[in-house]
């Protein structure tokens, strides 16, 4: 029996591949969906709601627990204490271990330079946000206290402005949110990775955020871009401004800002000094990439690069070889290294326990609603306190009628428990008032003291009336919040650290030609926007061109690997690229899909692809409404080889065709009602504006549209005089069967 009992006690849990969980000899089945629901879902929700995603006050629970612990330790007004002490005290609220708590403190500290407005006033080595290898010192070596800026977090914490909840073991209370007097959610950068979602919020300038909030409260239709031009990062650098991208991020909460380093050239030493870098990178990552490029021979202009960061701040120094143009070198470094980087935004915030991705306007609207409720609760709390005080003073005022009577009642009462009831009967006051009177010291039961106390009755009544008036008026509540925002902006506002470069398109390297090999290629473009670049050798060995089902060849032409392409889209934009950006392909491949390759917007499709050559000719745009525009190709030639050109052509009518010509020729226009017209491109005067509407070329009948355009030589028309007209606009003539094209009309390049 003893042996059997011992064997039973040594049974262990067993999990097999069939999902059966239990004891050996006693198994039970559990569906995998049930296991996920019971075990994984609570974990996932806990990570989302209680750990990784910030709330409307701009803090994650770990931040809030640390700051509240420091507040309760008296570190808002007192001196610094050892960080290890703070970490230990915080573990009463945060059970995730001392290492995680200290890492949180490091990120909030002034010494780490992560935040524009740090919450922790630190002393000692807290590392640097811009350095990957500069480790922070252990908590026993550093000291910290709350920065004075935290007054704006805890000003109303004791006025019942937020809910207080139990900590993890219900031994003390902690705030569910911190009643910030400004939209900290946009001022402090925050990043978190949860289960199935993430959050990445960039920081904005405090004064600009406050001014934007005030403007939106006064006018919900306010253009946010006027007061909030872009994010502001603690590491400085430069923001490459793109209005379209910025408005998209402000509207949807998703997108990415482009950042680049700030540098200057010291001519006397022939060196480049980099003093500010993008927030999203580190000095070690930059130096590693530069060293790699030098090793493979892509950068030959640099003699040496070193990190000269000291107590004065960040500095990377690049020694140049003789005769090197610093501007061209920096353009190359921006293109090839993290000296130009992007910050991907994902404004995912917990609102009432639910994660929501919101734009700037929606975030500020939610913050304003939440802050209004905080102010309401504060006003109600102060009203209650003043009413309680007023109630006590009203009872004290009754004693003025007969102080001697009060003394006599107390003196003649035999039992202590009957003092309060007798006072209630003697003066007609309630129990609370009677208790207050009974607790007054004997030395204070005199007319002077009582008169001095009761003088405050009228002031209290006036204060209560004013507070109640504010509480009942949405306009006055709004003014209270606006006044607080103005005070915060005036007291703590700082100049921008990140400089804004006002350019509307993405910037690329100006000097790419040196690295691009040139050789003959044949270009194939399909009607659905697939592109293939095939070398002469590969073309000789290939068979029939392969296309996606339902797709076909739009055009093909012989060109070179260095040739540039202009891709016009249905969203009136032009993407500028080079053939060397595409890999050499084969006839058996589908090729590269242009919308994906060029990073087009959702729903954006290719309308026309043209080769501008040396930009000496012009491009003709023809629209469904019968209008045509003649724009010099030089209008699309950019010094910085910008990748995307907005407002590339007119958006007044859908584009039918874009034709590039080096000299004037005769073209044929076909309408949807069976008419054709021949005109000379010399009849169209060149326009200097890219998005010009042009002039009427073909007069169209009601409901008719211009549907096709081609060169006369490719049209198949035999009787050209029938359709030719010296003046425009022209109605053309009905197309005869003998003049219909024998082959399908294709793009003309």
Residue 47 lies in a domain: no
Asked if pLDDT for residue 200 goes beyond 60, the answer is yes
Distance CA 526, CA 521 (A): 16
Three-class SS of residue 112? coil
Q: Do 17 and 119 sit in the same domain of this protein?
A: no
pLDDT value, residue 252: 95
235-253 average pLDDT score: 93
Cβ neighbours of residue 304 closer than 8 Å, sequence gap 6 or more: 318, 319
**Whether residues 480 and 525 fall in one domain:** no
pLDDT tens profile 600-636: 888 888 888 888 888 888 888 898 988 998 888 888 8
- Which of the residues are catalytic? 141
pLDDT of residue 59 exceeding 90: yes
Which of 178, 209, 243 is the C-terminal boundary of a domain? 178
Print the SS3 string covering 118-166. CCEEEECCCCCCCCCCCCCCCCCCCEEEECHHHHHHHCCCCCCCCCEEE
As given in the structure block, the two tokens for residue 435 are: 């208790």
Domain of 405, CATH number, reads 1.10.268.10
Task: Say which residue, 384 or 48, is predicted with more confidence.
Answer: 384
In this predicted model, what pLDDT tens digit does every residue of 149-162 receive, in sequence order? 999 999 999 999 99
Q: What is the CATH number of the domain that holds 163?
A: 3.90.199.10
Asked if residue 319 belongs to a domain, the reply is yes
What number is the average pLDDT over the span 169-182? 94
The whole-model pTM stands at: 0.66
Sheet strands side by side (includes 271-276): 262-266, 271-276, 316-320, 302-307
**430 and 392: one domain?**
yes
- On whether residue 218 sits in a domain, the answer given is no
Give per-residue pLDDT as tens, 292-327.
998 888 888 999 999 999 888 999 999 999 889 999
Is the same domain home to 482 and 518? no
Regarding whether 73 and 13 lie in a shared domain, the answer is no
In a domain, 200, yes or no: no
Beta bridge partners of 670: 676, 708
Looking at 286, 319, 338, which one is the last position of a domain?
A: 338
Q: How far apart are CA 350 and CA 253, in angstroms?
A: 14
Task: Based on DSSP, count helices (H) and strands (E) in the chain, helices before strands.
Answer: 22, 36
3 state SS of 441? coil
- Predicted local confidence at residue 18, as pLDDT: 42
Mean pLDDT value of segment 355-370: 96
**pLDDT range class, residue 9, cuts 50, 70, 90:** very low
Same domain, 589 and 487: no
Same domain, 479 and 416: yes
Beta strands across the sheet bearing 733-734:
706-711, 666-671, 675-680, 733-734
**Tokens read off for 650:** 């007119």
Buried b / exposed e along 685-702 (16+ C-beta atoms within 10 A):
eebeebbbbbbebbebee
Q: How far is 748 from 690, CA to CA, in rounded Å? A: 20
What are the start-end ranges of the E strands in 545-637? 553-560, 564-569, 574-578, 592-593, 606-610, 618-623, 627-632
pLDDT, tens digit, 9 for 90 and up, residues 445-504: 777 887 888 888 888 999 999 999 999 999 999 999 999 999 999 999 999 999 998 764
Banded pLDDT at 26 (limits 50, 70, 90)? low
Residue 583 within any structural domain of the chain = yes
- Residue 293: CATH number of its domain: 3.30.1360.40
388 found inside a domain: yes
What local confidence, expressed as pLDDT, does residue 10 receive? 46
Does residue 663 register a pLDDT over 90? Answer: no
Tell whether 466 and 603 lie within a shared domain. no
Q: Are residues 535 and 460 in the same domain?
A: no
What is the helix (H) or strand (E) element at residue 49, kind and residue range? none
Strand-strand pairing, 238-241 and 316-320:
unpaired
Residue 318 pairs in a beta bridge with 272, 305
Within 13 Å of residue 82, how many CA atoms lie on the same side as its CB?
8
Compare 616 and 203 and report the one with higher pLDDT: 203
The pLDDT assigned to 103 comes to 95
Q: Which domain holds residue 120?
A: 59-178
pLDDT, tens only, 122-145:
999 999 999 998 999 999 999 999
Give domain status of residue 48, yes or no.
no
Contacts for 409 with CB less than 8 Å, ≥ 6 apart: 419, 422, 423, 426
Q: Does residue 665 share a domain with residue 615?
A: yes
> How many domains does the chain fold into?
5
Q: Which of 178, 202, 237 is the last residue of a domain?
A: 178
Same-domain check for residues 303 and 415: no
Pure H helices in 169-301: 184-187, 206-218, 224-227, 243-252, 283-296
Mean pLDDT of 514-535: 82
The per-residue pLDDT for 447 is 76
42 within a domain of the structure (yes/no) = no
Tell me: do 330 and 376 sit in the same domain.
no
Per-residue DSSP letters for 269-286? Answer: TTEEEEEE--TT--HHHH
Asked if residue 557 lies in contact with residue 611, where contact means CB atoms within 8 angstroms, the answer is yes
């Amino acid at each position: 029996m003893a042996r059997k009992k011992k064997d039973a006690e040594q049974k262990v849990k067993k999990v097999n591949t069939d999902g059966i969980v239990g004891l050996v000899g006693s198994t039970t089945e559990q569906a995998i969906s049930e296991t996920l629901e019971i075990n994984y879902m609570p974990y996932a929700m806990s990570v989302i709601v209680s750990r990784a995603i910030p709330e409307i006050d701009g803090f994650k629970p770990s931040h809030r627990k640390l700051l509240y612990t420091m507040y309760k330790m008296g570190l808002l007004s007192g001196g610094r204490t050892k960080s290890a002490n703070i970490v230990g005290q915080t573990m009463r609220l945060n059970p995730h271990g001392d290492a995680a708590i200290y890492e949180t403190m490091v990120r909030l500290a002034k010494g780490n330079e992560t935040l524009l407005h740090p919450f922790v006033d630190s002393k000692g080595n807290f590392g640097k946000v811009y350095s990957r290898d500069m480790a922070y010192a252990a908590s026993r070596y550093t000291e910290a206290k709350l920065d004075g800026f935290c007054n704006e977090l805890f000003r109303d914490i004791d006025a019942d402005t937020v809910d207080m909840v139990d900590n993890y073991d219900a031994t003390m209370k902690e705030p569910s949110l911190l009643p910030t007097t400004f939209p900290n959610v946009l001022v402090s950068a925050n990043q978190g990775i949860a289960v199935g979602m993430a959050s990445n919020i960039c920081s904005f300038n405090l004064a600009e955020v406050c001014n934007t909030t005030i403007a939106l409260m006064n006018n919900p239709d306010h253009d946010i871009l006027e007061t909030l031009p872009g994010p502001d990062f603690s590491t400085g650098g430069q923001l490459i401004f793109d209005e379209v991208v910025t408005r998209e991020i402000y509207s949807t909460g998703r997108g990415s800002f482009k950042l680049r380093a700030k540098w200057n050239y010291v001519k006397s030493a022939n060196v480049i000094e980099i003093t500010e870098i993008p927030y999203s990178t580190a000095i070690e990552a930059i130096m590693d990439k530069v060293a790699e490029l030098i090793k493979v021979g892509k950068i030959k202009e640099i003699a040496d690069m070193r990190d000269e960061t000291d107590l004065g701040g960040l500095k990377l120094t690049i020694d140049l070889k003789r005769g090197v143009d610093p501007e061209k070198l920096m353009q190359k470094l921006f293109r090839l290294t993290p000296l130009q980087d992007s910050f991907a935004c994902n404004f995912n915030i917990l609102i009432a326990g639910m994660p929501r991705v919101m734009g700037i306007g929606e975030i500020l609207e939610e913050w304003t609603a939440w802050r209004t409720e905080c102010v309401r609760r504060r006003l109600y709390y102060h009203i209650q306190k003043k009413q309680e005080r007023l109630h006590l003073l009203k009872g004290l005022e009754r004693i003025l009628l007969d102080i001697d009577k009060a003394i006599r009642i107390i003196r003649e009462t035999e039992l202590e428990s009957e003092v309060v009831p007798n006072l209630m009967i003697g003066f007609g006051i309630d129990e609370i008032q009677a208790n207050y009177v009974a607790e007054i010291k004997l030395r204070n039961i005199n007319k002077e003291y009582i008169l001095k106390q009761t003088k405050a009755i009228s002031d209290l009544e006036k204060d209560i009336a004013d507070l109640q008036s504010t509480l009942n008026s949405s306009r006055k509540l709004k003014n209270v919040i606006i006044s607080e925002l103005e005070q915060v902006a005036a007291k703590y506002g700082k100049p921008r650290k990140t400089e804004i470069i006002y350019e509307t398109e993405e910037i690329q390297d100006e000097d790419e030609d040196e690295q691009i090999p040139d050789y003959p290629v044949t270009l194939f473009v399909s009607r659905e926007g697939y592109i293939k670049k095939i070398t002469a050798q590969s073309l000789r060995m290939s068979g029939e061109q392969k296309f996606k089902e339902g797709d076909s060849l739009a055009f093909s032409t012989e060109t070179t690997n260095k040739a540039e392409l202009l891709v016009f889209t249905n969203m009136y934009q032009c993407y500028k690229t080079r053939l060397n950006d595409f890999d050499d392909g084969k006839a058996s491949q589908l090729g590269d899909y242009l919308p994906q390759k060029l990073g087009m917007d959702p729903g954006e499709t290719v309308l026309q692809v043209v080769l501008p050559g040396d930009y000496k000719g012009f491009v003709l745009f023809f629209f469904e409404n019968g209008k045509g525009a003649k724009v010099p190709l030089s209008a699309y030639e950019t010094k910085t080889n910008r990748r995307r050109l907005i407002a590339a052509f007119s958006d007044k009518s859908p584009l039918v065709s874009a034709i590039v010509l080096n000299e004037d020729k005769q073209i044929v226009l076909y309408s949807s009602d069976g008419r054709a017209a021949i005109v000379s491109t010399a009849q169209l005067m060149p326009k200097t504006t890219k998005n010009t509407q042009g002039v009427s070329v073909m007069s169209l009948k009601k409901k008719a549209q211009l549907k096709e355009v081609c060169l006369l030589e490719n049209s198949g028309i035999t009787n050209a005089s029938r359709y030719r007209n010296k003046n425009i606009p022209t109605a053309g003539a009905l197309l005869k069967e003998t003049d219909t094209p024998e082959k399908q009309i294709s793009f003309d390049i």
